[in-house]
Structure 1
Amino acid sequence: MKIKKAGALSLSLLLGLSGCASGTQSESNEKTLTVGTSQEMSGVFSPLYYLSGFDGDVINLIYQGMLKYDAKSELNPDLAKEMPTVSEDGKTVTFKLKKGVKFSDGTKFTSSDVKYTFTVLSDPSYTGYLSTVPSNIEGYEDYYSGDAKELTGIETPDDYTVVFHLSSPMIDAVSTLGTQPICSDEQFNYEKGHTKKIEKKSGKPIGTGAYKLKSFDKSKGATFVKNDQFDFKDGEYDVDRIIIKKTDSSTELSELKKGNLDLLPANIEQSKIGQASLDKNLKVSSYKTAGEGFLGFNCASGTTKDQAVRQALAYAIDRESFVDSFFKYEEASDEVKKDLIGYVPEVYWNPVSNLVGSYVTGDETLEGLTVYRYDLEKAKQILEDAGWKVGSDGIREKDGQKLEVKFLVSVDVPALETLIPMFKKSWSEIGIDLKQSSVDYNTVLSTISDDAQVDDWSIYFVSSSYQGVIDTDSNTTLATKNPYNFSRIQDEELDNDLKAGLNTSSEEESKEYYSKAMIRENELVPYFPLYGTKAFNLYSKRVSGLTTGPVCIWSQAMKDVKLK
């Protein structure tokens, strides 16, 4: 799911370029941090168009929003000089911007760049996945569907003031507007209805952040150097060069031990975490992740269009056994053994939500929420009641259609090596024929997002990483015809609750409606969470100052990182 903003969520696998080896410095004494990733970046490095969480690391290093989250999940000014003011009715949000900020090409950052960014997202020709971000700004419909020449709901009374006028209150107005990365209005000669040229050049990022892209090779990785237009303060951004290096998941820990890598971020593999904790030259730190590993069900085509099939599949997954076995340390330091990796979520939702996250983790019980505990007999009965009868070959069928599910699987995902044999065994026991297709991660994303390929898959697996502590990400993944709704679920009751949870300035009211939406979602099962986790950063002892949190990952936490 980064998917970023519009909900701010990030699709990633949460697993853990040729260039300078880590642990070394160049002749010019540049301090280089080499970060390993087992998944390829796609090269879509525009905050207006990127989808993959791995591309999101590039965005985080290069771009800034007006606000940003810290490791404590608190919002702080970034391009804004202070936190915004919000009118009493919740419909006007005013940001005051820092002066003297420049993009990496030397152009000046002003309020015009903010308006430009949200205007492109509102353009009728915009084909990215963030069109819901500006949809509540006054004048959006006139600009998107009508003849309006500008997005009138954004005022820029001077170069350093931006005023957003909203059609209705939004519980997440400050975070949604504030954390959207801002693009330069001078990079492209923007005209309404002509965003294609912006999309085509998404591999050429120009931002106001501390780093800029030096080189990129899809099979090797990316290199970043300091942005010489950035206003560096003493004691901050000690790292001069960052290399994100494409690695092999089977050898990346060895590379870290040898000193060819400095950091393996957001790892959830017990064997790697445990081994790193026992190595005197490595350090381990953990944080609760704002995400889940989950299955997405195709609700528009094929057998999983049937709600009963989705429910049966969910009951026929022994998540507890998976979590107990996959995340159990075989060997680890005594300290790390106390730091459990995984848990079983109750519902597909943001587990660090400040309103309803405790329902996701099971720390609180939500009355009326359907909870899917492993029960093969119940799964069989659901299918029987829905008319799916066992055929002579053991596979169920209904109206001449075999109960076949087409599973789209990413390669090189250790969790799936354990999960898929479990799926095959339990699903065959309830009469389901599992067909597996293994492809690379970016192909999974491009397939599930393409309506033309909707008949080619029934189920996919990814993990989502939300980038805020709000609930409105669920509006983007569950609301009818939202571009991030890859399940393509359509349900009026769910839509109404999601809308009511969003369009209010009352936290109490928002919690009430989002709780109802959670209950309805678990009945429909468009997505099914398999596990939630803590994430573990594994890194060399030459690295210090890396402080991460649920919505502040390594690429957002470089300011205080130091290298020996």
Structure 2
Amino acid sequence: MKKVAALACLAMFASACGGGTAQAPSARPVAGGTFTYAIPADPGLLDPATAVMSVTNTVLGFAYDTLVSADRDGRTVPGLAEKWEVKPDSVTFTMRKDVTCSDGSKLTAADVAQNVNHIADPASKSPIYGVLLPPGMKATSDDAAGTVTLSTDKPFAFILQSARDLYIVCGKAVKDRSLIARATSGSGPYVLSESMPSDHYTFTRRKDYTWAPGGAKTEGMPDKLVLKIVPNEQTSANLLISGGLNAAVFYGADRTRLEATPGLLKKSPMAGNGQFFYHQGEDRPTKDPAVRKALTQALNLKELAGIASSGTGRPATGLVMEPRPCKGDTVTGHVPAFDAAAAVAGLEAAGWKAGPDGVRVKDGKRLTLRYLYSSTRGAGVQAAAEYVAAAWKSVGAEVKLNGVLDTKMSESLNATQDWDVVWLPIGVSLPSQLEGFLSGPAAPKGANFAHLDNARYTELIAQAKLKPGEEGCKLWLEAESALFDNSDLVPVTENTVLVAGKGATFDLVATVLIPTSIRLTEGG
């Protein structure tokens, strides 16, 4: 299903809002110049309506704006819209009057409405529909009044916040999306001026850009940005140290080396959650909540977190990325503690008896678990899979590890359904973005790939969706905890990465650079 493909990409590549602590160089900013940033892969098609990978959205973020944005505390601040009026089933934005597209045309309310309706149109086959854009949303506009209204057919809790994620296309590309396959047509601070797929992308600063989100200052920004494709982190680290790059993101072994290197700007933002799901299809041993609880008790989740994150993670406190619209720890006290003896007793009580070779058997069926994970997400995820297999073997389960490429994860999750447990990181900014994956029709008919059927979760989110913003937060938090109470999925760690810079300063939204914050520094 298309939505499962979107989740797989969002889970493994996307990031939501959040900053990070920094060790900043003392050199003074220098206006203009060229800032060079490493990205790990080619971004592919540059149409925002098709963008689900973070590398694509990183590139798009330099050329496109959103209606509203979020500050460091998660509060909504003006973007293309200067003000808004929220109702339970709609939000009306009043647009700024001074915004122009990179081709010189004026951004209109009709342009914004067309962006939303294009994504919602089934013919567009947009993978962000129902994920970043709420299901059933439509848009109307009034150019004379300078307003655009986004509405849903029933109340939607985060109807305002969902607008933070929608990049707005303008100019001729509003009607002809083929124009932005390898180009940009937005109102953002930069415009793509050179596209060399699999090598680099060069952006040129728009000197007329004065409508930065939240009123951010634009004086002194680099005149050019070069996004250089560097798939190998060791190469990126060497280039950064030697001055061939101004910034890059590091997940693996080179992170330690750079953290010990003096004179670098260093930030460690949250970059996705690490957890695993149990498949609850009719023929699965993990359909039984007693089995899920026992298998969870067999794992020392603190040790597993350290292994999966290579020692750089934080204790898991929820499913949504920081800064969360609903503050609170939904994990503590809702996940069974490590207790190998209780795990054995639980499996025995559930009818799984030890067989002659040590593997438990019930009704003639062996306790065999197929564990699915991405083989391209680093040594920590691989080591975590092996740790889980050993722990479950010690309590009588047979575990078959199945590492697949990121590009095959969606097919394995949904089409073949050949798994019992899946390690699947999540990166979403709103709890509502998870509803279709954690409830509703099961795969392959729906996006509920793990066949979850948690009545308490469903009941709570049905109530939460009707309450705007913070009013429903208590219900959203309780809904997450209900998933953990039932061992539907098990949160393990909140991953972090190192974003390092040299000869420049910048701020972040998760691992994504905020364009208006970039400044070159003396000696850069």
Assess same fold via TM > 0.5: yes
Bucket of the pairwise TM-score, normalised by the shorter protein: 0.7 to 0.9
Match of 1:161 among 147, 150, 154: 147
Q: CA deviation at 1:561?
A: 0.9
**8 Å contact from structure 2 (residues 32, 220) kept in 1:** no
Compared CA separation, residues 32 and 488, structure 1 to 2 (3 A)? farther
Letter in 2 for 1:50: A
**8 Å contact from structure 2 (residues 171, 186) kept in 1:** no
Give the structure 2 partner of residue 426 of structure 1: 391
CA distance in 2, matches of 1:44, 1:435: 36
Listed as ranges, the matches of 1:360-375 within 5 Å are 360=331, 362=332, 370-375=334-339
Match of 2:247 among 259, 263, 269: 263
CA distance in 1, matches of 2:378, 2:63: 28
Q: CA deviation at 1:130?
A: 3.3
Give the structure 2 partner of residue 537 of structure 1: 499
CA distance in 1, matches of 2:424, 2:208: 35
Give the structure 2 partner of residue 115 of structure 1: 113
CA distance in 2, matches of 1:506, 1:498: 13
Structure 2 gaps of 5+ residues are 16-30, 211-216
**8 Å contact from structure 1 (residues 224, 241) kept in 2:** yes
Letter in 1 for 2:140: I
CA distance in 2, matches of 1:499, 1:93: 20
Q: Does 1:355 align with 2:326?
A: yes
Match of 2:204 among 226, 233, 240: 226
Match of 1:378 among 339, 342, 345: 342
CA distance in 2, matches of 1:438, 1:290: 21
CA distance in 1, matches of 2:142, 2:271: 34
Listed as ranges, the matches of 1:193-342 within 5 Å are 205-213=184-192, 214-215=194-195, 217=197, 220=198, 222-226=200-204, 228=206, 231=209, 235-238=219-222, 240-265=224-249, 267=250, 272-287=254-269, 289=270, 291-300=272-281, 303=284, 306-308=287-289, 309-324=291-306, 341-342=312-313
Letter in 2 for 1:45: L
CA distance in 2, matches of 1:306, 1:300: 6
Q: CA deviation at 1:4?
A: 12
Q: CA deviation digits over 1:355-376, x for unaligned, max 9?
A: 343334x5xxxxxx53232222
- Report the 3-state secondary structure (helix = DSSP H, G, I; strand = E; otherwise coil) of the residue aligned with 2:330: helix
**8 Å contact from structure 1 (residues 3, 53) kept in 2:** no
Give the structure 1 partner of residue 33 of structure 2: 31
CA distance in 1, matches of 2:282, 2:234: 36
- Report the 3-state secondary structure (helix = DSSP H, G, I; strand = E; otherwise coil) of the residue aligned with 1:177: helix
CA distance in 2, matches of 1:59, 1:248: 22
Letter in 2 for 1:34: T
**8 Å contact from structure 1 (residues 350, 471) kept in 2:** no
Q: CA deviation at 1:95?
A: 0.8
CA distance in 1, matches of 2:241, 2:78: 37
- Report the 3-state secondary structure (helix = DSSP H, G, I; strand = E; otherwise coil) of the residue aligned with 1:487: coil
Give the structure 2 partner of residue 461 of structure 1: 423
CA distance in 2, matches of 1:105, 1:389: 70
CA distance in 2, matches of 1:350, 1:297: 22
Instruction: Give TM-score scaled by structure 1 length.
Output: 0.75
Compared CA separation, residues 390 and 221, structure 1 to 2 (3 A)? farther
Q: CA deviation at 1:388?
A: 3.2
Q: Does 1:175 align with 2:175?
A: no
Compared CA separation, residues 500 and 216, structure 1 to 2 (3 A)? farther
**8 Å contact from structure 2 (residues 36, 226) kept in 1:** yes
**8 Å contact from structure 2 (residues 90, 159) kept in 1:** no
Q: Does 1:499 align with 2:449?
A: no
CA distance in 1, matches of 2:347, 2:42: 40
CA distance in 2, matches of 1:526, 1:202: 40
CA distance in 2, matches of 1:296, 1:42: 29
Give the structure 2 partner of residue 145 of structure 1: none
Compared CA separation, residues 417 and 395, structure 1 to 2 (3 A)? same
**8 Å contact from structure 1 (residues 268, 533) kept in 2:** no
Letter in 2 for 1:124: P
- Report the 3-state secondary structure (helix = DSSP H, G, I; strand = E; otherwise coil) of the residue aligned with 1:292: strand
Q: CA deviation digits over 1:54-106, x for unaligned, max 9?
A: 322123223221011234433222211x131235xx44422111234343455
**8 Å contact from structure 1 (residues 9, 464) kept in 2:** yes
Letter in 1 for 2:52: L
**8 Å contact from structure 2 (residues 115, 169) kept in 1:** yes
RMSD of the TM alignment (CA)? Answer: 3.7
CA distance in 2, matches of 1:383, 1:239: 63
CA distance in 1, matches of 2:166, 2:204: 22
Give the structure 2 partner of residue 558 of structure 1: 515
Instruction: Give TM-score scaled by structure 2 length.
Output: 0.80
CA distance in 1, matches of 2:231, 2:116: 36
Q: CA deviation at 1:559?
A: 0.7
Give the structure 2 partner of residue 68 of structure 1: 69
**8 Å contact from structure 1 (residues 221, 245) kept in 2:** yes
Give the structure 2 partner of residue 345 of structure 1: 316
CA distance in 2, matches of 1:66, 1:555: 18
Give the structure 2 partner of residue 143 of structure 1: none
Match of 1:547 among 482, 507, 520: 507
Compared CA separation, residues 283 and 423, structure 1 to 2 (3 A)? same
- Report the 3-state secondary structure (helix = DSSP H, G, I; strand = E; otherwise coil) of the residue aligned with 1:48: helix
**8 Å contact from structure 1 (residues 10, 465) kept in 2:** yes
Give the structure 1 partner of residue 477 of structure 2: 515
CA distance in 2, matches of 1:167, 1:66: 21
Q: CA deviation at 1:520?
A: 1.9
Q: Does 1:489 align with 2:452?
A: yes
CA distance in 1, matches of 2:336, 2:512: 35
Letter in 1 for 2:405: D
Compared CA separation, residues 52 and 5, structure 1 to 2 (3 A)? closer
Structure 1 gaps of 5+ residues are 15-28, 141-150, 191-197, 330-340, 363-368
Q: CA deviation digits over 1:306-346, x for unaligned, max 9?
A: 244443433333221244567788xxxxxxxxxxx433225
**8 Å contact from structure 1 (residues 96, 160) kept in 2:** yes
Letter in 2 for 1:110: T
**8 Å contact from structure 1 (residues 396, 432) kept in 2:** yes
Give the structure 1 partner of residue 23 of structure 2: none
CA distance in 1, matches of 2:134, 2:517: 36
Q: CA deviation digits over 1:462-502, x for unaligned, max 9?
A: 433334xx433333542324976443423443222112112
